[in-house]
């Protein structure tokens, strides 16, 4: 099982979004996602989130919170546990990202972009729910087949 982090940095009603356009053979090609990546040996979720945000954006998170754990199940890809963070304070200057283009996108525009269907679900939850949650997303290829909130509530 793959372990990853994803972080949504917030500023002035916007999230910092990465439009994935630069990597070849990228499962996220042309999608809009938050910033994050795979754990390195010995990292905690916080270690990974801090490192990935710094590497991809040049920013250092100073106030962040673990909001959810998302479980992805999808053939043909490996299953994944993703630790989902939000961050409302950071230092540094934005740098170019080698995976795509970084853009401060107003939250109300997010759902108009090319997002994974499961991402739309957890972005809505981040906006409407303050408490920690878990979400299991089951895909068949690119098609979301099932979403289960907190181990018991079927969302679809």
pLDDT at 20: 85
pLDDT at 33: 93
pLDDT at 98: 87
Joined tokens for residue 28: 């996220």
Q: What is the mean pLDDT of each run of 10 residues along the chain (156 residues)?
A: 96 94 73 94 98 97 98 89 98 93 94 93 94 96 94 92
Parent domain of 37: 2-154
d(CA 9, CA 28): 19
Nearest to 56 by CA among 14, 12, 89, 103: 103
The total of structural domains in the chain comes to 1
pLDDT at 38: 96
pTM of the model: 0.94
d(CA 151, CA 153): 6
- Going by DSSP bridges, is the β-strand pair 2-11/153-154 parallel, antiparallel, or unpaired? unpaired
Please report where in the chains the tokens 């499961």 appear, as a residue: 118
pLDDT at 150: 97
DSSP 40: P
Q: Kindly report the length of the chain.
A: 156
CATH code of the domain covering residue 66:
3.90.79.10
Task: Please spell the DSSP secondary structure of 57-76, one letter per residue.
Answer: HS-EEEEEEEEEEEEEEEES
pLDDT at 26: 65
- Going by DSSP bridges, is the β-strand pair 2-11/80-91 parallel, antiparallel, or unpaired? parallel
67 and 128 Cβ atoms separated by less than 8 Å: no
Helix (H) or strand (E) holding 122, with range, is: helix 117-128
Q: Is the dihedral of CA 97, 73, 87, 32 positive or negative?
A: positive
């Amino acid at each position: 099982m793959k372990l990853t982090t994803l972080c949504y940095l917030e500023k002035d009603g916007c999230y910092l979004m990465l439009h994935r356009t630069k990597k070849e053979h990228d499962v996220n090609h042309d999608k809009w996602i938050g910033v994050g990546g795979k754990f390195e040996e010995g990292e905690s979720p916080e270690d990974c989130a801090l490192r990935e945000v710094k590497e991809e954006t040049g920013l250092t998170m100073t106030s962040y919170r673990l909001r959810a754990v998302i479980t992805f199940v999808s053939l043909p890809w490996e299953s994944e546990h993703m630790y989902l963070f939000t961050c409302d304070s950071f230092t540094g200057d934005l740098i170019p990202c080698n995976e795509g283009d970084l853009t401060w996108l107003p939250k109300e525009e997010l759902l108009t972009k090319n997002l994974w269907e499961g991402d739309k679900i957890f972005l809505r939850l981040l906006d409407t729910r303050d408490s920690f949650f878990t979400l299991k997303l089951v895909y068949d290829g690119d098609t979301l087949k099932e979403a289960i909130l907190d181990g018991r509530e079927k969302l679809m």
